[in-house]
């Protein structure tokens, strides 16, 4: 059983929405767990995500059918469709290896955004310190999905650097970036690209089509007393069913779960809860006696029944 801190989510009552108002600066307080933030917009405009351009740019559609392009506030993910400048990412060497590593990181950030945003309804809100629109007339906005601030999640998991601007949440985002860089999460592994098996360590989708689309590592309250609020969500992104019978899921400390007889149909999702319950087609239960996933970072590894690594992701 792993040591845990008590996760506390503080939601401030603040103004947000179409008028361009969002929460005031959350003060840059102590960093929350990766993927969370100290405050969320109280009100957001609901939109559908129709396309993911890359890790920090998406296309959306409003309920009235109007479409727009959103550039995520406060973050900059490595480029996928253009050259990267390693000098923009502190500690990454200005070498071919550094550039290659950043491109891999950019692909990972893009896939991460597709897994969590594409085809879903999310909330958006602008920042009071910034113009509503930036370069190329893109809307500058925060994105809220699954009660998490996606912009912050990109930074805290090492998939983006903080974009230097006057946005109101710069303090907490910078703290999150420092934590990710010190822990060498995500793109910050590129500071030593020759030693980092980056692509393997951060793969989100296996050749079979199985994808890890969400990690909820920080349960409400004491993690050890709320085991079913700690979970992983897998999806089948392929065209054929994925037979998971005998496949295992492990953490960095080799705690292991084995799927029983089970097949995941194309387009379907299954949630693996850490605690106990009755297995269904969409829910599986680890049956662990204590929390498995470290709030401060861990590695999820999925292996086939034959022991081959199907996918692995560090967070």
Catalytic residues, which ones? 71, 79, 138
Which residues, 6+ apart, have CB-to-CB distance to 185 below 8 Å? Answer: 34, 157, 158, 297, 314, 315
Cα–Cα distance, 253 to 179 (Å, whole number): 21
Task: Spell out where 28-163 has E strands.
Answer: 45-54, 57-61, 67-72, 75-76, 121-125, 139-145, 148-149, 161-162
Beta bridge partners, 294, equal none
CA 147 to chain centre: 12
Q: Are 309 and 210 in contact (CB under 8 A)?
A: no
Structure tokens at 212: 């890890």
The owner of tokens 């401060």 is 296
Maximum Cα–Cα distance across the chain = 55
Q: Are 107 and 158 in contact (CB under 8 A)?
A: no
Structure tokens at 289: 């006696």
Q: Are 26 and 175 in contact (CB under 8 A)?
A: no
From residue 218, alpha-carbon distances to 55, 95, 225 in Å are: 23, 37, 12
Question: How many CA within 13 A on the CB side of residue 233?
Answer: 12
Cα–Cα distance, 24 to 294 (Å, whole number): 30
Cα–Cα distance, 143 to 292 (Å, whole number): 28
């Amino acid at each position: 059983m792993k040591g845990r801190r008590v996760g506390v989510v503080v939601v401030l009552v603040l103004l947000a929405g179409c008028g361009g108002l969002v929460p005031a600066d959350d003060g840059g307080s102590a960093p929350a767990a990766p993927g969370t933030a100290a405050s969320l917009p109280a009100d957001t405009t609901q939109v559908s995500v129709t396309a993911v351009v890359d890790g920090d740019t998406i296309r959306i559609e409003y309920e009235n059918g109007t479409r727009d392009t959103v550039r995520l506030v406060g973050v900059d993910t490595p480029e996928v469709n253009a050259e990267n400048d390693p000098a923009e990412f502190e500690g990454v060497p200005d070498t071919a290896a550094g550039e290659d590593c950043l491109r891999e990181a950019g692909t990972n950030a893009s896939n991460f955004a597709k897994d969590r945003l594409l085809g879903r309804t999310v909330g958006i809100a602008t920042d009071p310190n910034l113009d509503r629109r930036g370069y190329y007339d893109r809307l500058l906005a925060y994105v809220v999905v699954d009660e998490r601030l996606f912009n912050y999640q990109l930074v805290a998991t090492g998939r983006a650097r903080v974009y230097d601007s006057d946005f109101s949440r710069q303090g907490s985002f910078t703290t999150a970036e420092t934590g990710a860089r010190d822990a060498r999460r995500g793109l910050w592994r590129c500071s030593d690209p020759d030693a980092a098996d980056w692509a393997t360590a951060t793969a989100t989708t296996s050749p079979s089509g199985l994808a890890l689309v969400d990690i909820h590592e920080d349960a409400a309250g004491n993690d050890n007393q709320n085991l079913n609020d700690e979970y992983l969500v897998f999806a089948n992104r392929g065209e054929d069913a994925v037979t998971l019978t005998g496949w295992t899921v492990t953490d960095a400390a080799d705690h292991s779960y084995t799927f029983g007889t089970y097949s995941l149909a194309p387009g379907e999702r299954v949630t693996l809860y850490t605690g106990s319950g009755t297995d269904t087609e969409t829910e599986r239960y680890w049956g662990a006696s204590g929390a498995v996933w470290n709030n401060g970072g861990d590695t999820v590894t999925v292996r086939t029944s034959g022991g081959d690594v199907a996918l692995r992701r560090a967070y």
